[in-house]
Structure 1
């Protein structure tokens, strides 16, 4: 059914259709029985799908990556679409508009998306208000970043502000230092900068009664040596895991016309062109750490087989975004049914 409507939906600008879907989900939130109906249609539950990762019990290993529900507006309805967990954000201390529009582009020939959104969100306090009355049963992660106008040397304070504000309202955190759409953000992936961000978060966590896992999200554009350094940082700082990977700045091997790609300009590329690279990074991290480190695998999961392969490569959990856009709301259920039948 979705594949019939997709050409019509794709006639609209990506950001336009995104806002329409979010508004529809917000409306359905207030319709009696709508959430239960969505769950009945799109969810698939089985004990074989359950995973205990990061000290949390996930009903299934398939989550929605950060970027869709930036302001924690529709996470509960997204959970009704079958996701085992939903990651909100990226959230920054202050609200910001992000980069100038247009800033999101589909590449249907490559089953890909280029975006340069720039951490557009309404700020951490807005997200907190939306999370304050969470229903039990859905695991929600908080993806945090710095405001675009904050200099890198002051970034640790921004991450700490977002972390403190969200601490009582999410189940785990992802520290985003790898998004290519915020000026100079990826420079924070140096060892010293990353440690300077992570240590204050750990110190704050030590004074809390509840433990919130912290993961570091890394770029697919890192060299092998840079990945090794990020693994060393994670293990030295004793945080809880890695999210691999963010979007890429590479345009290598695209089928889309070069002139069109050049006309789009800068931005992070996601979707099918990232499938192999993300999976390779997950496998490398798994082998390098001997499987000791939980990994959330994300990037280029565009089919049921991609999800299976990501788990086989060593991911503890898998996240979708572009695959959800291209395959529609039934995608999660198809993955879960396959995973349950293969166990």
Structure 2
């Protein structure tokens, strides 16, 4: 049914308009009073629960930052079966993002290109909204992803992140420092150790007991990834998210003219799978077994998610395939994971356990 809807309607709409339409429906689930019925249909099997970051995740599969930028649809996304929702990226100062069009589909590649530019209402507005999501209410685990405000000079980035962390950490189950989006000028330069170390040290102090992770780019060299792993370990951070979108356009099926017309932005979806998996393996090999590693990039099926778990991911996130798979995507992932684990148990092969 969704495939037909996507083919006949959604694929013909501007991608950002289609996103807003779907987002409004998801946001309304709790308000319409049907979220509970949906939740009973999508609830993950109890066998999928993961203990990580001092939290219980009902499923290892969650939705990555970028889908719900301001925290408007956390409960609705949880009711669709996502075990955690990472909102953001949120900046200290509200900003409109880049000019439209800024979101593009590459349907033949099962991919998206975005140059959204951290469009969001700012940390203060998000804090007020998230504060109303009681930890005792029925909601998924909540991650909050923070980035640098566009108007803030790179030299003042630490203070900018510090303000966002101070405002938002009290309402987050975990906090993520995003230094890897390609759509904010100068942001990726913060992954250089001389800039990253003081930034993470400052945010760590402000975050207090809230677990802190850093999100890295797939375009880093293997050596740069290893050095970040060593820094994260030395600073006592709680985890790494690997990876953000890529600036690479290698291996796409779309005609070069189409890709060139789209222009700059971060590529996500299936073409990112191989590099994201490779970065996961590098990270897992160079951090303690207890460190939380969240893998994101190019996952679409339950088998994809299980492969990441087998490779050492603690949790897995997705986003782009949501566009192509529709609202029951998380349900299909969770049912598939439970089936994989039952099959393994029946055949004597142990299921992967999260670090």
Q: Answer whether TM exceeds 0.5 for this pair.
A: yes
Q: Give the length in aligned residue pairs.
A: 337
Match of 2:189 in 1: 187
Q: 1:117 & 1:45 partners in 2: Cα distance?
A: 32
Q: 2:102 & 2:44 partners in 1: Cα distance?
A: 37
> Please, which moves more after superposition, 157-166 or 327-336?
327-336
Q: 1:67 & 1:181 partners in 2: Cα distance?
A: 12
**1:79-90 counterparts in 2 under 5 A?**
79-90=78-89
> Does structure 2 retain, via aligned residues, the 8 Å contact 1:84–1:139?
yes
Match of 1:121 in 2: 120
Q: 1:125 & 1:310 partners in 2: Cα distance?
A: 35
Match of 1:6 in 2: 6
**What SS does the corresponding residue of 1:73 show, helix, strand or coil?**
coil
Match of 2:344 in 1: none
Deviation at 1:237, TM superposition (A): 1.1
> Does structure 1 retain, via aligned residues, the 8 Å contact 2:215–2:241?
yes
Match of 2:304 among 294, 303, 306: 306
> Does structure 1 retain, via aligned residues, the 8 Å contact 2:294–2:314?
yes
Note the residue ranges of structure 2 that are not aligned, 5 or more in a row.
342-355
**What SS does the corresponding residue of 1:101 show, helix, strand or coil?**
coil
> Does structure 1 retain, via aligned residues, the 8 Å contact 2:86–2:142?
yes
**What SS does the corresponding residue of 1:284 show, helix, strand or coil?**
helix
Q: 2:268 & 2:56 partners in 1: Cα distance?
A: 28
Match of 1:253 in 2: 251
Deviations 1:109-149 (A, max 9, x none): 10100000000001111111221221244210000011011
Q: 2:287 & 2:163 partners in 1: Cα distance?
A: 31
**What SS does the corresponding residue of 1:215 show, helix, strand or coil?**
strand
Match of 1:227 among 225, 233, 253: 225
Match of 1:107 in 2: 106
> Does structure 2 retain, via aligned residues, the 8 Å contact 1:141–1:173?
yes
Match of 1:204 in 2: 206
Match of 2:170 among 168, 180, 183: 168
Match of 1:20 in 2: 21
Change (3 A) 1:269 1:332: same
Match status 1:335 vs 2:333:
yes
Match status 1:31 vs 2:29:
no
Deviations 1:198-252 (A, max 9, x none): 111222244xxxx211001000000011101111110111111100000000000
> Does structure 2 retain, via aligned residues, the 8 Å contact 1:275–1:306?
no
Q: 1:136 & 1:329 partners in 2: Cα distance?
A: 19
Deviation at 1:164, TM superposition (A): 0.7
Match of 2:53 in 1: 54
**What SS does the corresponding residue of 1:143 show, helix, strand or coil?**
strand
Change (3 A) 1:47 1:25: closer
Match of 1:265 among 236, 257, 263: 263
TM-score, length-scaled by structure 1: 0.95
Q: 1:212 & 1:149 partners in 2: Cα distance?
A: 27
Match of 2:66 in 1: 67
Superposition RMSD in Å = 1.2
Match of 1:132 in 2: 131
Displacement over 6 Å in runs of 4+:
none
Note the residue ranges of structure 1 that are not aligned, 5 or more in a row.
none
TM-score, length-scaled by structure 2: 0.92
> Does structure 2 retain, via aligned residues, the 8 Å contact 1:44–1:337?
no
**1:138-157 counterparts in 2 under 5 A?**
138-157=140-159
Q: 1:87 & 1:204 partners in 2: Cα distance?
A: 19
Q: 2:109 & 2:339 partners in 1: Cα distance?
A: 30
Change (3 A) 1:136 1:29: closer
